[in-house]
Amino acid sequence: DADVTQTPRNRITKTGKRIMLECSQTKGHDRMYWYRQDPGLGLRLIYYSFDVKDINKGEISDGYSVSRQAQAKFSLSLESAIPNQTALYFCATSGVSSHEQYFGPGTRLTVT
Amino acid sequence: RKEVEQDPGPFNVPEGATVAFNCTYSNSASQSFFWYRQDCRKEPKLLMSVYSSGNEDGRFTAQLNRASQYISLLIRDSKLSDSATYLCVVHSSNDYKLSFGAGTTVTVRA
């Protein structure tokens, strides 16, 4: 089984809808991250969490919120989806002393 | 200016060739450097860390030039399986995030 899983893998939704992307990990890592990837822009950090009680905004947090339900779970919500949130979303984890991040398989989100 | 900039390519090379490419970073306080590999529509995976003295991992060689603020990756004896996008990643000591380049695409042809 994969160490980092994301659900759903693909989602098409309409403008204005609320949507949640979920991430689970079995690596036992404290640190978890949400990124979006757009062509030509690279991965951009949306939110990150260093433990269950720690939530931090990344460089592009507007329009997004997160919840760290447990060490193993970190969900990303789009409160009111808009078309420019169409992107590939990745969840990642890392250990406390490691900068190596382990990524989930990604969620391809399309907002129409 | 982007924190990490890469030539997007694509670099189209025949099997067995050597291919090399660089990335530049803007934050002189950057401490740690990495190359990640991303296959089409898949998740990025760590290829190798980049050390100040340069390092090799099989056919892959990474170099760091702090004075000019660039990192390089060289692939020798290219294989078809090396076809991927290579992401340059930089970590700064004054924050906790990794900064990703947009990637350099390499296509190895038979």
| A46-60 residue pLDDT tens | 999 999 999 999 999
Q: Does A89 touch chain B (CB under 8 A)?
A: no
| A103 to B41: CB separation less than 8 angstroms, yes or no | no
How many CB atoms are closer than 10 A to CB A15?
A: 11
Query: What integer pLDDT is reported at residue B29 of this predicted model?
Result: 83
| B43 to A105: CB separation less than 8 angstroms, yes or no | yes
What residues pair up with B5 in beta bridges, in sequence order? Answer: B24
User: Residues 92-111, chain A: which have Cβ within 8 Å of B?
Assistant: 99-101, 103-106, 108
Interface A–B counts its CB contacts (< 8 A) at 46
Residue B55 vs residues B37, B48, B61, B62, B79: alpha-carbon distances, Å: 17, 9, 6, 5, 20
Q: What is the pLDDT along chain B (110 residues), one digit of tens a residue?
A: 778 999 999 999 999 999 999 999 998 888 889 999 999 989 999 999 998 888 999 999 999 999 999 999 999 999 999 999 999 999 876 666 789 999 999 999 99
Contact predicate A109/A85, CB 8 Å: yes
Residue A47 vs residues A56, A64, B27: alpha-carbon distances, Å: 6, 8, 21
Residue B2 vs residues A8, A71, B29: alpha-carbon distances, Å: 31, 32, 15
Express each pLDDT in A64-81 by its tens digit.
999 999 999 999 999 999
- b (16+ CB within 10 A) / e for A86-110: bbbbbbbbbeeeebebbbbbbbbbe
| A99 to B32: CB separation less than 8 angstroms, yes or no | yes
Residues in chain B with CB shorter than 8 Å from the CB of A110 are none
| Residue A31 pLDDT grade (very low, low, confident, very high; cuts 50, 70, 90) | very high
